[in-house]
Amino acid sequence: MSLPAAITMSRGRVLDLSGPHYYQDLLTGIAEEILSELAEIEKVDLPSLAEEDFEQVVSVTQIRLLNELYYCLGQLRAAGVELEVKRAIQDLRDIWNRYIDRTQRPAALKFQVDPGEDQVQ
């Protein structure tokens, strides 16, 4: 089987995978979609949230990232395209963390690098 030209995320956004950098496009598309959702949550002013509420936002955001990754990887697998899940998680984490840095959001929103694990640049 071959790579599909596009896949649909769980909430309907279509990710174009027809370019030569489909893997990067996939992970970037996921990160951008979740950043868009985070922007909606930020309208309530994250710094004003109680610590436990902020931690819940962080947890939900990370869960959404992973759920979308698994959802998209499942579609690719159904099409016969196998990607290494652990590597995809690491790469998505690195992309996400760069977005958090560039957008000057709180560092707590970043995925943490496990001790002894290198961060891909």
pLDDT value, residue 42: 86
In a domain, 60, yes or no: yes
In a domain, 120, yes or no: no
State how far the Cα of 116 lies from the Cα of 13, in Å rounded to an integer.
35
In a domain, 1, yes or no: no
Length of the chain: 121
In a domain, 73, yes or no: yes
pTM: 0.88
Q: What pLDDT tens digit does each residue of the chain (121 aa) get?
A: 688 999 999 999 999 999 999 999 999 999 999 999 999 888 888 888 899 999 999 999 999 999 999 999 999 999 999 999 999 999 999 999 999 999 989 999 999 766 555 544 4
In a domain, 121, yes or no: no
In a domain, 114, yes or no: no
Number of domains in the chain: 1
Give the range of the structural domain holding residue 90, as residue numbers without chain letter: 6-109
In a domain, 16, yes or no: yes
State how far the Cα of 41 lies from the Cα of 37, in Å rounded to an integer.
7
For residue 15, the surrounding DSSP H or E stretch is strand 14-16
In a domain, 117, yes or no: no
Q: Are 83 and 61 in contact (CB under 8 A)?
A: no
Q: Are 1 and 79 in contact (CB under 8 A)?
A: yes
